[in-house]
């Protein structure tokens, strides 16, 4: 009897081990991302080292996570002129299928209904999670969804940058056949070519939920047709050919005078001075795959310190914004994130008690002529110069005993 119990115990250990997820490493364990996906089982996590991977990948319906071990701008999945879609979700993937932390570029789309669709990411009958990705410089020509295409799909797209993609319909994102993606804290910018909705295009009963996004510098913003409608809030929709068509927004900054609760129409004042440097694959004359460098300019859509979009969103959650945060969410892609622009506080109120007094002088003196432990002690100029000095003291004196 004792031996039987021992055998049962051993079998239980074996089966428990079989049920545990594993980490698969690229390129340590597998030379390519797709070879790791092929070997993975549900629940596995594929961890990809920073590099440029000249390949296209298909999740094959598996509930796995494919994530970069580095920053998105250091880990590239790059297609080429004959690549098709760089990433495909076409086998009923759910929210348990996740891609996280890549730059996805150089795709030309999947052929569907005689056009190419989904240059960067193609979703069909699937609802994966796409997060922390840069979807850049994909081109489907006269097709649909230069960056992402959703057919009968409702993916979650979070904390992404969808920039400089091209398509006839939906240069950034294309939604069709009752697709309902959730798009949050995402920048959709500088997408072009399309006559309609080069930011987001919605067709055939689709209803995306767009929250805390920045949709700017596209040929068009959000375009809804054929019984489609988008729910938009806490977003910035600016400098597009037509910001909104067939839909409306609330608590958003819109260049055109679109009505809506809490909407404003003032220049959001972006920083606008960041560049993205990426390495993409290309087919060389000799038939091999080479690489080249591509730059995307003016991609910093953080808000300047004096932007009217700071503390202008709806009275919703704001606890993830750095102090001082004004007790209200910022509009745009960085709303309710640690990257939100600080609210302008009372200059010299280092203790943040609403008054410039002796406690503030004490803290200023404590950090005199050195980089401050408390960033609010570096009163001037804006932005701060990194040291506490006479300029900071003079500004504090100007606001002495103010509340």
Rounded to whole angstroms, the Cα distance separating 317 from 329 reads 7
- pLDDT tens for each residue of 82-112: 789 999 999 999 999 999 999 999 999 999 9
> What is the mean predicted confidence (pLDDT) over 296-318?
83
Rounded to whole angstroms, the Cα distance separating 206 from 343 reads 36
Map residue 360 onto helix, strand or coil: helix
403 has a pLDDT exceeding 60:
no
336 has a pLDDT exceeding 60:
yes
Q: Give the position of tokens 């880990």.
A: 75
Q: Give the position of tokens 């055998």.
A: 7
224 has a pLDDT exceeding 60:
yes
Lowest mean pLDDT among 120-124, 299-303, 317-321, 322-326: 322-326
CA-angle at 378, arms to 375 and 381, nearest 5° = 125
Average pLDDT along the chain: 84
CA-angle at 130, arms to 126 and 131, nearest 5° = 160
Greater model confidence, 213 or 306? 213
> What is the mean predicted confidence (pLDDT) over 329-339?
91
- pLDDT tens for each residue of 146-156: 999 999 999 99
List 26's β-bridge partners, or say none.
48
pLDDT at 184: 98
pLDDT at 319: 81
380 has a pLDDT exceeding 60:
no
Segment (H or E) for 283: strand 276-283
Segment (H or E) for 396: helix 390-398
Q: Where are the domains of the chain?
A: 23-274, 358-399
- pLDDT tens for each residue of 172-186: 999 999 999 999 999
Q: Note whether 243 and 216 are within 8 A (CB).
A: no
Annotation: CATH topology of 23-274: Pectate Lyase C-like (2.160.20)
Secondary structure E strands in 83-234: 87-89, 98-100, 103-105, 110-112, 115-117, 121-124, 129-131, 134-136, 148-151, 156-158, 161-163, 173-176, 182-184, 187-189, 200-202, 209-211, 214-216, 222-224, 231-233
**First-residue to last-residue Cα distance in the chain:** 81
> What is the mean predicted confidence (pLDDT) over 235-250?
94
């Amino acid at each position: 009897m004792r031996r039987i119990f021992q055998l049962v115990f051993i079998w239980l250990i074996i089966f428990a081990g079989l049920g545990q997820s594993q980490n698969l490493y690229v390129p340590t364990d597998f030379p390519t991302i797709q070879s790791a996906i092929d070997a993975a089982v549900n629940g596995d996590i594929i961890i990809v080292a920073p590099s440029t991977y000249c390949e296209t990948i298909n999740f094959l319906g598996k509930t796995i996570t494919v994530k970069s071990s580095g920053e998105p701008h250091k880990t590239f999945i790059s297609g080429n002129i004959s690549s098709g879609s760089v990433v495909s979700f076409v086998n009923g993937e759910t929210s348990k299928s996740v891609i996280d932390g890549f730059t996805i570029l150089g795709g030309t789309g999947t052929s569907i209904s005689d056009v190419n669709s989904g240059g960067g990411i193609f979703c069909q009958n699937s609802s994966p999670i796409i997060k922390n990705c840069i979807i850049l410089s994909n081109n489907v020509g006269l097709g649909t969804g230069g960056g992402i295409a959703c057919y009968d799909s409702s993916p979650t797209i979070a904390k992404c940058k969808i920039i400089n993609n091209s398509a006839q319909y939906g240069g950034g994102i294309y939604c069709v056949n009752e697709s309902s993606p959730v798009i949050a804290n995402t920048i959709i910018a500088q997408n072009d070519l399309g006559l309609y909705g080069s930011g987001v295009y919605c067709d055939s009963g689709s209803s995306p939920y767009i929250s805390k996004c920045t949709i700017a510098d596209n040929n068009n913003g959000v375009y809804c047709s054929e019984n489609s409608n988008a729910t938009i809030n806490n977003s910035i929709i600016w400098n597009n050919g037509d910001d909104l068509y067939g839909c409306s927004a609330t608590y958003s900054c819109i260049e055109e005078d679109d009505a809506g609760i809490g909407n404003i129409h003032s220049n959001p004042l972006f920083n606008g001075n960041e560049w993205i440097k990426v390495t993409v694959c290309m087919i060389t004359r000799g038939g091999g795959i080479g690489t080249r460098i591509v730059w995307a300019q003016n991609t910093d859509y953080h808000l300047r310190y004096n932007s009217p979009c700071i503390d202008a969103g709806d009275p919703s959650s704001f606890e993830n914004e750095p102090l001082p945060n004004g007790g209200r969410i910022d509009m745009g892609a960085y709303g309710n994130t640690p990257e939100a622009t600080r609210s302008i506080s009372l200059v010299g109120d280092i203790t943040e008690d609403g008054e410039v007094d002796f406690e503030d002088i004490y803290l200023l003196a404590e950090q005199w002529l050195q980089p401050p432990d408390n960033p609010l002690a570096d009163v001037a100029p804006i932005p701060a110069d990194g040291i506490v000095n006479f300029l900071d003291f003079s500004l504090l004196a100007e606001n002495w005993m103010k509340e």
